[in-house]
Structure 1
């Protein structure tokens, strides 16, 4: 989610990616540190690749950056367990917050998908030549694997799980919107003035404090000034006002500039304790995880389970991952969602600012801003283990709200119809329907009001008609 007018997330999203292996003798950087590549699958139109960085030296490696070139016509798309930047055909992967340190004798890995016949060349690890040969350690198969599909391919016949969701007091289908606790070009408003179409309001954002893992919240002075005075006490009263109308209000953690890091048991405890304190102080109904700068699924799961033990079964737990974070069940955000599926309320993936990406058919790169894109990417989550009631469609609320992927609200309704009824689909059709789909989310309520509340007035009534 974004605090400014627009942003552009530079994520390569073509057909998935890449592959090959390359390496020269290790240089002086850190003797014994190597990077090796293996092609783990090949399904004809795409490949899956994996790099493993091993520390055979005697000192800990603190942070890594691995870069390689691909020839024209070969591109990297989906990736996991690393961050990616690119310049032309040069791709650079760097560590996430939880896998940058490699102790002597240990190793870490990251993976990616891609298209094209080329293989990586000119591989460099922390500026030095990568170790390893120019041929993958495991010869790639020459025919599509008959039993092991690539990670985004859905199981064709297994129906989604039907375990009932936790009781949270929310309707079957909900509209979620984010409320700005900051001053930007979108309309400013008091929490009590949120339009009645919204069922779940996420307050953006709680921020990091000086204690690792801990978060804090207070009304932004700039927002208060724009509103002619708006205090913490006013805000707390407004939370109660929305709840008296049957709405739920949760605190969102993170955002574009958020720097909350939960990467140890101690920081997990601090996160749970601090969010619980905010719930007690302001009356929030739950928490939304919107971390765009690294997420450790192990310790965040620990934190959220601890928080639920404090609050009880009515706690709402939402997530707002970027599109790239929900491409592969082994990725950090997706893994967290699956690991806490028994207490998770909803994952509202941001289906925007992402470029083209593979859908659950794994055969085409769908362009953002289309019914096909929304449906094919939501299908990945629905077929990889999340219940339909845990999947929401996140879209921008019109001009100004995002850098790409903005669609008319009617397109959101068409995607909802396609997923729940099998009607109004584009060229992509999911393998089954999901009548229990939770609903839609928008960034943001403020931008929606700026754009004449078109998103809520169009999507909310349609949600009430879904099966």
Structure 2
């Protein structure tokens, strides 16, 4: 799946600020969430004969009649698969260019959705069910098709076609939904939803504190590369920063498990300090009560511990880096394809996917080796965590993106060892919150809704009998870009303060109602220390101003 490109994102492609180090949204986003608007409703009178369920699926009306589409969609001529017209969808940085249509269906009935599509990263599916996609159709149209069977009480289905965030326009034509029945158009309706009202379980009673202050500031230091923000020596990092994540430990081969940490060269970073001075700076920071961690992964550091040999190589190589530099622990920043769930792996409490199981075992081995003082942090994207509220892995029909919610089993298994979780609330598409509304990055509302999910807990894939439990407030921080240069979803200081007011005091919440207030919320994380310095330290100064 593609990722949305941003100026300097902390996400699944590369760290930005440099053309080779950009952290983009692996979806982070709403890959399978479908459109935000409900499409036109087509009511059908079921019969024994096969019928077409979609209105204007060939777009020969010359309009988008019957469809509800993201901005920029249009019916175009001269580019059709058949006939005269086709749909042209145009994704943006914040939308997938989706067109959707809702139809009335019969319970316990099989249907087939098909389309001809032309472009890259084009998706076809049914909301809440199966989907399919193509990375590229080459030079012309190619078919996509999915089949699904409705549930015992299901009476509507929303089908969609869309591209992907930041990708070029795509074409779709001859979209068809075949099944028993035929129908006529009726006004749109909205299916009822009921948000969860009761937190599922209590958080860990004694989560590791990592000897952190009550409110901590976390930042990434560009240590193995240079970009437009400039190189910052560790000794020059201001005392505001409580956890300093050295970015990044990476692999040469995704499945080898061997991690290396190669500091930026003099040719790339002319002001880089010597190894001796770097090691001395680590000790000085630690003497001042700061934690210095190895951040593993990032966009270029894809890690897939698919074998026990890779697991053991990971533990050995990471231990060597920790020992060489005298570090306090690790930050798990697995992105892109590092974590995904195998088909049939449906229980986050009992994962079976080797890459997930081996990662959990590897981190537990590191924790056992270094003891209670070992600091463990994670910085996943919303796609791998909060998206799990709607979708988990490949889903019941095997057609969803297998990365949906893929961090949940790791967080759950390590929740008693986890010092801090700082989900990246940026480079993200719209994500559904516990109010069953979509929330968009860049303002207080997004941070409030996303953090409320972590501190309240939520049903995984909507299954109220399978609840992801709340984390302790001391284990949760909010991840943000330090400046407009650092990534999509920059949040102004006043909006950051509003989010903190709501989450810690339950005041100034706007339209969202949280499920509690958490004065012990640990703090904030940012990509990155370098970008904050580049922007005059505005992010860290605002943190200091708020928490004192």
TM value normalised by structure 2: 0.62
Are 2:304 and 1:220 equivalent residues in the alignment? no
Structure 2 unmatched runs, 5+: 1-9, 39-96, 103-117, 157-189, 340-354, 393-404, 458-468
1:8, CA displacement in angstroms?
4.8
Structure 1 residues 431, 87: closer, same or farther in 2, change over 3 A? farther
Structure 1 residues 138, 213: closer, same or farther in 2, change over 3 A? farther
Larger radius of gyration: 2
Are 2:107 and 1:91 equivalent residues in the alignment? no
Structure 1 unmatched runs, 5+: 20-68, 75-85, 94-111
SS in 2 for 1:432: coil
1:343, CA displacement in angstroms?
0.4
1: distance between equivalents of 2:504 and 2:252? 42
1:414, CA displacement in angstroms?
1.8
1: distance between equivalents of 2:305 and 2:505? 39
Assess if the C-alpha contact under 8 Å between 1:70 and 1:89 holds in 2.
no
Are 2:365 and 1:306 equivalent residues in the alignment? yes
1:209, CA displacement in angstroms?
4.0
1:323, CA displacement in angstroms?
1.5
Structure 1 residues 455, 223: closer, same or farther in 2, change over 3 A? farther
Deviation track 1:233-290 (CA, whole Å, cap 9, x = no partner) reads: 2211111011111111000001111122222222122111211111111011010011
SS in 1 for 2:250: strand
SS in 1 for 2:447: helix
Structure 1 residues 87, 7: closer, same or farther in 2, change over 3 A? farther
Deviation track 1:201-237 (CA, whole Å, cap 9, x = no partner) reads: 000001114571110113110577420x522222111
The equivalent position to 1:163 in structure 2, one of 205, 211, 222, is 205
Assess if the C-alpha contact under 8 Å between 1:198 and 1:460 holds in 2.
no
Aligned length: 374
* Corresponding residue number in structure 2 for 1:429: 513
1: distance between equivalents of 2:230 and 2:146? 55
Structure 1 residues 398, 71: closer, same or farther in 2, change over 3 A? closer
Deviation track 1:387-420 (CA, whole Å, cap 9, x = no partner) reads: 2211110000112101x10011232222122111
Assess if the C-alpha contact under 8 Å between 2:130 and 2:147 holds in 1.
no
* Corresponding residue number in structure 1 for 2:286: 243
1:297, CA displacement in angstroms?
2.5
2: distance between equivalents of 1:193 and 1:232? 15
Structure 1 residues 234, 121: closer, same or farther in 2, change over 3 A? closer
* Corresponding residue number in structure 2 for 1:283: 326
Structure 1 residues 223, 335: closer, same or farther in 2, change over 3 A? farther
**Structure (1 or 2) with the greater helix fraction:** 1
Are 2:479 and 1:394 equivalent residues in the alignment? yes
* Corresponding residue number in structure 2 for 1:354: 428
* Corresponding residue number in structure 2 for 1:178: 220
Assess if the C-alpha contact under 8 Å between 1:273 and 1:307 holds in 2.
no
* Corresponding residue number in structure 1 for 2:80: none
1:89, CA displacement in angstroms?
9.8
Assess if the C-alpha contact under 8 Å between 1:276 and 1:311 holds in 2.
no
Are 2:140 and 1:136 equivalent residues in the alignment? no
